Amino acid sequence: MSEMNPVARPLVEMKQDHNFFIGIDSDGCAFDTMEIKHKECFTPNIIKYWDLQAVSKYARQACEFVNLYSKWRGINRWPALVMVFDLLRERDEVQKRHAAIHEAQKIREFMNSGLPLSNSSLAQLISETRDEELVKAMEWSEAVNATIADMVHGVPPFPYVRESLELMTQHADAIVVSQTPVEALVREWQEHSIDGFVKVIAGQELGTKTEHIRYASQGRYADDHKLMIGDAPGDFKAARGNNALFFPINPGREEESWERFYKEGFQRFLDGTFGGAYEAELIAEFDKALPELPPWKR
């Protein structure tokens, strides 16, 4: 653990009470917050701060594709922002309007720095470089957080989430595995009184989702006793990066997915019949739900 992000210590030092481990994503998985956060908070601030007013229609389409309706659903805000820029830059309609789309070179360097992709890491870089693009990036990111704090409340967990948490924590050690800032996660889980069901609430400051699972589970739980529950391909990758099993919450069919987990998936996890054909069927359904090409390229 010599390369561990020091902030992630709560994961490494987590007390083990059971032989089973479960990681749970938050936005779009436990809570129906993806649509409101991206359509009302992220996208308007992307258009405002990155000067996309002239192509706002196409910017909105790109933002919603990347963050909600594609295989990149749920990725960290910085790679998502850069992907939006790249999709816009290559689109004919945007080129015809001669819109200047940011290259985001300094943001790309930040993404490749190895630092946690959080505001605190960005602040560290700004203090060292005083770079104007990074300053703008921080202003945008803080504006997104402020809009979310103002806008997103009163959104309860999906049906069967609370029941599933009550059931799973009798047999498994559960944590939140997310790329949302910790402050927002804690606020949402506390608002609905479900924070007591998880041992750690891990957000972007504590590292990637793959790292969250590794820090909390490595050397403690057998591979077939580790499970990730998520609604995005990044959750699946985080699971497989730790040889863990994966239960998908299918976008657009979240209630049905949680009911299936509560009524059959969790018991299969406990009795050792989850891996293999059952998991493969779940993942095949999940894979069909999210395309790789945006509608304007199909």
pLDDT in tens, 180-214: 889 999 999 999 999 999 999 999 889 999 999 99
Average pLDDT value for the chain: 95
What is the band of 3 on the pLDDT scale with cuts at 50, 70, 90? low
What fold is seen in the domain 6-33+157-289?
Rossmann fold (3.40.50)
Asked if the model's pLDDT at residue 174 lies above 50, the reply is yes
Q: Is residue 59 a contact partner of residue 47, using CB atoms and an 8 Å limit?
A: yes
pLDDT digits (tens, 9 = 90+) for 71-85: 999 888 999 999 999
Measure CA 109 to chain center. Answer: 21
What is the pLDDT averaged over residues 57-64?
A: 98
What is the band of 2 on the pLDDT scale with cuts at 50, 70, 90? very low
What does the pLDDT read at residue 185?
95
What does the pLDDT read at residue 116?
85
What is the pLDDT averaged over residues 154-181?
A: 96
Kindly give the pairing relationship between strand 245-248 and strand 200-202.
unpaired
Domain residue spans of the chain: 6-33+157-289, 34-151
What does the pLDDT read at residue 4?
64
Query: Exposure pattern of 169-204 as b/e (b: 16+ CB <10 Å)?
Result: bebbbbbbbbbbbbebbeebbeeeebeebbbbbbbb
What is the band of 141 on the pLDDT scale with cuts at 50, 70, 90? very high
pLDDT digits (tens, 9 = 90+) for 269-278: 999 999 999 9
Asked if the model's pLDDT at residue 1 lies above 50, the reply is no
Phi, psi at 71, each rounded to 5°: -70, -5
**Long-range own/partner contacts, residues 44-52 (CB < 8 A, 24 or more apart):** 44/147, 45/140, 45/143, 45/144, 45/147, 46/81, 46/84, 46/140, 48/143, 49/136, 49/139, 49/140, 49/143, 50/81, 50/85, 50/102, 50/136, 50/140, 51/100, 51/102, 52/88, 52/99, 52/101
Asked if the model's pLDDT at residue 6 lies above 80, the reply is no
Give 78's contacts (C-beta < 8 A, 6+ positions apart): 107, 110, 111, 117, 137
Of 49, 3, 7, 11, nearest in space to 174 by CA: 11
C-alpha span between 30 and 160 (Å, rounded): 9
What does the pLDDT read at residue 145?
94
What is the pLDDT averaged over residues 13-22?
A: 97
More confident position, 121 or 2: 121
Q: Is residue 294 a contact partner of residue 70, using CB atoms and an 8 Å limit?
A: yes
